[in-house]
Structure 1
Amino acid sequence: MTESVDSPATSPVTVEDGVLYVRVATPRGGNVLNGEAMAAGAAALSDLDESVGAVLLVGAESNFCAGGDVRAFHGAPDRSAFVRQLADTFHGFVRALTSVPVPVVAGVPGWAAGAGMSLVCHADIVIGGRSTRLRPAYPALGFTPDGGLTWALPRIVGTRRARDILLADGVLGSDEAYRLGLLTRLVGDDVIASEAERVARSLAAGPTEVSRATKRLLLASDSATLSDQLDAETDSIAHQASTADGIEGVDAFVEKRRPSFGH
């Protein structure tokens, strides 16, 4: 069953079988960032229904997201004010996405440039194919990055490599993006979308409280000491041992059967 988060049937944000779908790009202008999706997505992520067990970011047509709408920048009477407003909306979505308590999956065919590359950096599981290309693209416009790219990229690929990619506006093919950890799985181009959906649905159908608890630990780890993180892990695993899913998981293992986790 598909449920629209906003009232129009064509909403870029929908919920289906425990997965929150966000269509981050619109076919306009070669698959540019969808501002409507950013606003609606931020609202849905900030008030996430308990029935949602995963988030899936999808693009439009053959590209994941080719970045901002440069023609709209060009036509704005006050470009600075216009770009600021767009960045504020985009960053509202990024803030909500990076604090969401469930796994975030992205299916990335074709180009993920500019804002699209930023979104790739904030997903937990990123599925690409041979067609996948990543590029900052900001220097070519005379812009600096947004979407948290200068924060996330160094944490994934390392500080020195991130400087090279961002300053030189490097294009990363699928093999290099996978080697650097920007893509976490490579599949055939024709199954990127279906594989990303399969993974998201599998996560939503699994022990969702475990996923949420694991995400909480991962989100806290950025600013925690090892000692603090060990204490948090002790508290979390001890709590999970007494939950319905924790009991079912252990019982199923001992009884040599597939666990039946509740939601």
Structure 2
Amino acid sequence: MTELVKLTLHDDWAEIRLNRPERHNALVPEVLDDLHRAIEAAKAAAPRALVLTGEGRSFSTGGDVGAFLEAASDPEQLRAYSERVVGGLHDALMKLLAFPAPVIARVNGPVTGGSVGFVLASDMVIMSQRAFVQPYYGVVGFGPDGGWTALLPEKIRTARALEVQYLNTRLSAEECVSLGLASRVVETEELDTGIQEWLGGIREMNASTLAATRANVWDAPRRAQVKARLDQEKARFLERISAPDTREGMQRFTNRH
């Protein structure tokens, strides 16, 4: 059976890789369950840094719209499925924000929908030139999740965050750097070199100091604020998911993709 999330423990760092490339690493409950286990196992290994990435051509395209549509024939099933996906994603983001070592996103390809939360929960982000960020919420009819309203405005300022979502703007890797969503853009084949350069710099620092720095930034009060806003995102996602126009949007989206 294929591992949907791969955890690789290196000498002093850990890598978590989403491994559903045939579906562009789209998020389903089984992926999120494996992701939770991987984060906990990585934390137990006490690495100097945690790297998040995706297998194949995409980093992750967020929730699997086709899977939501399959559940849409039964309103109760759809709500339970949505609760599991969005709740599982948000719980994973909270675990990442509390992770006791630097978190690095290795964005190997497109990252859309709620999976942008993995970028927002990371401290350092390196992107392939072919990667991009895009919301798609207004196209499908979903409520934004994964931190699009809870974390993104703080990163790129409120007006820009709203504009991106109102117009379904596709942000190139270069634009992500200019907005502060990413630190570096490289050719795809240079991603690992860039990661190793960062890891080399981290190794020269006192690990306890870096852990204290991250804990100060993502302290309990700040994480509580984020959780409250993520809970708000989930509540509005659940309101939108059963709306007739959302079902129509899912049908149009899946027919085009």
The reply to whether TM is greater than 0.5 is yes
Mapped partners of 1:142, 1:88: distance in 2: 18
What secondary structure sits across from 1:134 in the alignment? strand
Find the aligned partners of 1:143 and 1:93 in 2 and give their Cα distance: 20
Q: Counterpart of 2:9?
A: 15
**Long gaps (5+) in structure 2:** 223-257
| Contact preservation (8 Å) 1:17, 1:201 | no
CA separation in 1, counterparts of 2:30 and 2:195? 22
User: By how many angstroms is 1:20 displaced?
Assistant: 2.4
SS of 1:57's equivalent in the other structure is: strand
Change beyond 3 A, Cα 1:29–1:10? closer
Worse-superposed segment, 100-109 or 75-84: 75-84
What are the within-5 Å matches in structure 2 for residues 62-101 of structure 1? 62-76=57-71, 77=73, 78-101=77-100
* Separation in 2, partners of 1:11, 1:118: 17
TM-score (norm 1): 0.73
Q: How far apart are residue 52 of structure 1 and its match?
A: 1.4
- Which structure 1 residue ranges, 5 or more long, are not aligned? 1-7, 224-263
Q: Distance in 2 between matches of 1:167 and 1:212?
A: 37
Q: CA deviation at 1:149?
A: 2.1
Partner of 1:208: 207
Count of residues in Structure 1 that have an aligned counterpart in Structure 2: 218
TM alignment of 1:50-199, pairs within 5 A: 51-76=46-71, 77=73, 78-199=77-198
CA change 1:88–1:9 in 2 (3 A) is closer
- Preserved contact between residue 114 and residue 147 of structure 2 (Cα < 8 Å): no
Q: Could you tell me how far 1:110 is from its partner in structure 2?
A: 1.9
RMSD: 2.7
Q: Quick one: distance in 1 between partners of 2:125 and 2:78?
A: 33
Contact preservation (8 Å) 1:134, 1:173: yes
Task: Using the TM superposition, give the Cα deviation of residue 116 of structure 1 relative to its aligned residue in structure 2, in angstroms.
Answer: 2.3
Say if 1:72 and 1:136 are closer, same or farther in 2 by CA, change over 3 A.
same
Deviation string, structure 1 residues 191-245 (Cα, Å, up to 9, x no partner) = 124423553465357421121011112223975xxxxxxxxxxxxxxxxxxxxxx
